[in-house]
Structure 1
């Protein structure tokens, strides 16, 4: 095999890829090794074009090997600009953090060598390395060099400069560059302004990163042209920062704008759908993925399993899980936690065993799911056993969440002293969530003395959190000590601390309807009120008596009964009954723990109206059917 020299003025058919078909035909890294070895044996590797093509395939193809690419590059006598750019790009794009530093090292070597100058293909990769490292100082030096080489107006260089400043959270400089580039874009590289989607995407993403969603949305709305990446940036930003309804609305607007969601879109919006409990929309996304050939891998599969679990369809979650061709630890965690949340404790423990049999090592998140399952079922000994196994056998360091689960497990079982002792002897500082678990248990078990002590600790630990004040107030109210209730309420008023309002939502025909206590703002409020009256009458005929001990306010019995009737989950249930066909399952999401009266009422409603009613409260799912609940009244 003879060496081939390429004329720089040759036609595209003379591109190195065409000159060395034996390289492009490689199917595996082993094939590439064989071709590489042959090139060395025949001395063809000394042909700059052949070496550059071998380097390119090692560095950038699907068979990439950074180690081999570096070896090829370091043996080149005089690398051309193409080879320098290839190795720098490969290192900058690598998922290994240290490789970004190596990319900067090779760039400095390129500059020091002086035989070739960095060009418009060099700087984007170098800036990407600076951005990944968050190295502002080096990034500014590279910016200066780009100006020196007259590349400050190149579209790709500018985009990566803006991204570098964004990743370093220097939004002032990023905005300055962006504004200048957008203003001048009519003359940059012959492009039109609307063509610079990448630059707009970068600056929108930057605003999202620093949490300035108002600016991000304003920029997004002004974009002359949007790609699917533009939409994904906003959807994922909203979803990850708790703007759930905004994420879903953006997803719907995306479809109205005739932009097809892709894999990233689905993975981004599913967590928001999960937290909202919007099952119908989640089903639509699952169907969309199947219809459009979007592969449901372990990542998308995990998101779908989590969505079905959190939207109340545990059977569908199990079906998706079983059909996945590949499962990772996140997928297993999703199904185990989901089963625990739905009170399917034995199934959760069974899937934990299957996970171990499949050779998947459980993570700390796995044990949070298992301990939660034990807590929901009151399995104290099993919970202790799993906690000890995690620490002493698997060797995982318990996180604050594990201790919180154990406190919840012990407290629900009435072992308050043991739960308090566990908190006091924790090797890490207990947080407010851990103390709240004990406070909730004190309220449940009626231990007022410990409850007051824990509430005071919480008030010192999280003085602006209304939860501890409300819990203490409720404890005094349950004793009829209205004087102490007034003191706590006055303390809240003086500190301008307000109680989080209880709220419930229900999804119908893809729309989410939200309700709060005594809500009369819905367009069908009159019909809802009539249904609430009907429900009250039918409950009374069934022998139900409102549990007015749940109304911890100083009012007469009739007022207390009226207040109970207008709890948000009852309003959502009434709305569901008047809005759906007979036997349709109602799925309700509540932001707080369901109260005892609503729990007993909805059990009877499921029997009276022959409906399955699924309620997701702050802690778990309750599946009401034929007068019974899946939690067996232990929650």
Structure 2
């Protein structure tokens, strides 16, 4: 029998013999329907325990069917509290959409009008979760009132879910009040000293509840953007779980504070906290961003030794980490060894190849992806268009864009148009790039205009550059990028009056240029350098190495490209300004900190300038070093005086 039959209750008493063994053996929803039909036929369906167990398996098991569970619940003779709690929880935890959470709240409302049942401490966590999912703090406050009325406002997990609801709905003042009240009220000494039986269990439950409560509050502060308060609260936690550590790491990563995320992770290791799957997924992105390859390798080895399953999500995070840390070879190894590959992992490896300038290889993997029957996603096309952009493959880029629209049937997002503008702009097709922006079906954002502005700077089109910069200044008046780009264009022409006007405008509007920053990992420790940074403990040695590098470059006839300096100063001062760019400081530190011929890997937050690019090419030859630099756009592999980008970046 493939479908269940729903009948109305009769006056016949249900049999006493239970049917649980067969229910427990269910492996699919079809098995459950067979048993359901048999229960109806034998009239055991009116046993509240049996019907409740049917509901539980159909709504909360691995082979759940929420629509089927809904029908089961609404045809129950008289749902008990267990059945109400089960169906509310099922709808509250549904991953489909907010409508399911709304239905969970509706069922809770029906429950309140059912005089045969009363909500208990197992009801409210799910109800509050539904309020959180729907973002309905108004209903949440009403539920809070009912919690107090029923005397459940001292239950650990009810309070935790109340705090979570307020925090997720943006009501941080209410969350703070509840949290502070709970912390003040909680006194383990009183619990341990009351001499009642079962105290150990009560203490354990309270401790677990308190850890959850603190985690919820820290998470709420992270979500509100108050990382300082979140960190202060995290440091004060009387007891931490792995969830506590994972949450603060993910919070720092989400808000772009990657070095802080890694520092927390290192502290977590020192506390001998056992890492889990979530830890790895949370900390790998920060490791990727700062280029901490040694730490990333250690994490990969840890996962293998501890038997942590490397699925497509963790696998793609590892591929992304190796790619962004400069080891595309290791990224390819991880990809090849994955037992199952999804569109996520294919996207990760294609993106990695793209940022390393391996356009032909990226296209090859794109073809393999289609051959094995995995349809490219919109993210796939962003990566493949980026690969084309970094290697001047204009014709191929246009063909891929057309393929995405006409063959696969994907609607281009603004990111795809941005890739096309970058591709056209890099190759000097500025008018075509501008037409691409103006013909888009959506409103251009600042990112796509910045792509065109960068192309104008690259090809010296001051007229278009000024027009685009003015558009950007109107769109994002406090973003320094457009002002700096326009100033640099004027400086390259020696038009210092216009440079002064732009700089004065920035000063009047209190707009500050993002400082150049570079990271290098030495023996597992990440070192950070800013422009003209003399704060490092080995600053004197670094300065001496920079002088040595400068002398050796001069000896072979290298002359600095001072047109990169947008300051109206004499030539010597311009040379000094170039001398202390952050990536050069990082390279100098790498040379004095490692043995000869050791490869150096540097990560920079901005695009590498022409002078640094030219000088690092020669440094790689003079010192016989492979130097890998990842800037904001792509990787540069410097070997024996040449770069993998072929001077196109």
Aligned twin of 1:476 = 490
Verify: 1:177 aligned to 2:191, yes or no: no
Report the CA distance shift for 1:389/1:179 in structure 2 as closer, same or farther (over 3 A). same
Aligned twin of 1:361 = 375
Give me the whole-angstrom Cα distance separating, in 2, the residues matched to 1:25 and 1:312: 51
Residue pair 1:247, 1:272 contacting (<8 A) in 2 also: yes
Give me the whole-angstrom Cα distance separating, in 2, the residues matched to 1:508 and 1:170: 44
Give me the whole-angstrom Cα distance separating, in 2, the residues matched to 1:456 and 1:249: 41
Aligned twin of 1:153 = 154
Aligned twin of 1:9 = none
How far off is 1:623 after superposition? 0.6
Verify: 1:572 aligned to 2:573, yes or no: no
What count of residue pairs does the alignment treat as equivalent? 623
1:93-144 residue CA offsets vs partner (Å, 9 max, x unmatched)? 2212222122122222222221111111112211111111111222222222
Unaligned runs of 5+ in 2: 1-12, 192-198
How far off is 1:419 after superposition? 1.4
Aligned twin of 1:115 = 116
Verify: 1:371 aligned to 2:385, yes or no: yes
Aligned twin of 2:91 = 91
Report the CA distance shift for 1:143/1:552 in structure 2 as closer, same or farther (over 3 A). closer
Verify: 1:302 aligned to 2:303, yes or no: no
Give the match's secondary structure for 1:504: strand
Unaligned runs of 5+ in 1: 7-15
Give the match's secondary structure for 2:216: helix
How far off is 1:4 after superposition? 6.5
How far off is 1:624 after superposition? 0.9
Report the CA distance shift for 1:134/1:392 in structure 2 as closer, same or farther (over 3 A). same
How far off is 1:42 after superposition? 3.1
Residue pair 1:503, 1:591 contacting (<8 A) in 2 also: yes
How far off is 1:440 after superposition? 1.3
How far off is 1:180 after superposition? 1.7
Aligned twin of 2:275 = 261
Verify: 1:560 aligned to 2:561, yes or no: no
In the superposition, the TM-score normalised over structure 1's length comes to: 0.93
How far off is 1:46 after superposition? 2.9
1:31-57 residue CA offsets vs partner (Å, 9 max, x unmatched)? 434433433333333322222222222
Give the match's secondary structure for 2:443: coil
Verify: 1:442 aligned to 2:456, yes or no: yes
Aligned twin of 2:216 = 202
How far off is 1:540 after superposition? 3.0
Give the stretch that moved more between structures: 507-516 or 39-48. 39-48
How far off is 1:344 after superposition? 0.3
Residue pair 1:590, 1:616 contacting (<8 A) in 2 also: yes
| Aligned 1:278-289 pairs, distance under 5 A | 278-289=292-303
Give me the whole-angstrom Cα distance separating, in 2, the residues matched to 1:604 and 1:152: 69
Verify: 1:589 aligned to 2:603, yes or no: yes
| Aligned 1:506-525 pairs, distance under 5 A | 506-525=520-539
Residue pair 2:293, 2:521 contacting (<8 A) in 1 also: yes
Aligned twin of 1:22 = 22
Residue pair 2:491, 2:563 contacting (<8 A) in 1 also: no
How far off is 1:194 after superposition? 4.4
In the superposition, the TM-score normalised over structure 2's length comes to: 0.91
Residue pair 1:185, 1:191 contacting (<8 A) in 2 also: no
Give me the whole-angstrom Cα distance separating, in 1, the residues matched to 2:610 and 2:476: 27
Residue pair 1:286, 1:304 contacting (<8 A) in 2 also: yes
Give me the whole-angstrom Cα distance separating, in 2, the residues matched to 1:83 and 1:457: 60
Give the match's secondary structure for 1:377: coil
How far off is 1:559 after superposition? 3.2
How far off is 1:632 after superposition? 0.9
Give me the whole-angstrom Cα distance separating, in 2, the residues matched to 1:71 and 1:191: 41
Aligned twin of 1:494 = 508
Give me the whole-angstrom Cα distance separating, in 2, the residues matched to 1:76 and 1:460: 62
Aligned twin of 2:6 = none
How far off is 1:150 after superposition? 2.3
Report the CA distance shift for 1:27/1:425 in structure 2 as closer, same or farther (over 3 A). closer
Give me the whole-angstrom Cα distance separating, in 1, the residues matched to 2:20 and 2:478: 69
Residue pair 1:55, 1:72 contacting (<8 A) in 2 also: yes
Aligned twin of 1:380 = 394
Verify: 1:610 aligned to 2:611, yes or no: no
| Aligned 1:328-343 pairs, distance under 5 A | 328-343=342-357
Give me the whole-angstrom Cα distance separating, in 2, the residues matched to 1:327 and 1:522: 44
How far off is 1:3 after superposition? 7.4
Give the stretch that moved more between structures: 277-286 or 547-556. 547-556
Residue pair 2:488, 2:564 contacting (<8 A) in 1 also: no
Aligned twin of 1:55 = 55
1:549-572 residue CA offsets vs partner (Å, 9 max, x unmatched)? 323333333333333232221111
Report the CA distance shift for 1:94/1:601 in structure 2 as closer, same or farther (over 3 A). same
How far off is 1:63 after superposition? 2.6
Residue pair 1:274, 1:307 contacting (<8 A) in 2 also: yes
1:485-528 residue CA offsets vs partner (Å, 9 max, x unmatched)? 22222222222222222121111112111112232221112221
Give the stretch that moved more between structures: 361-370 or 192-201. 192-201
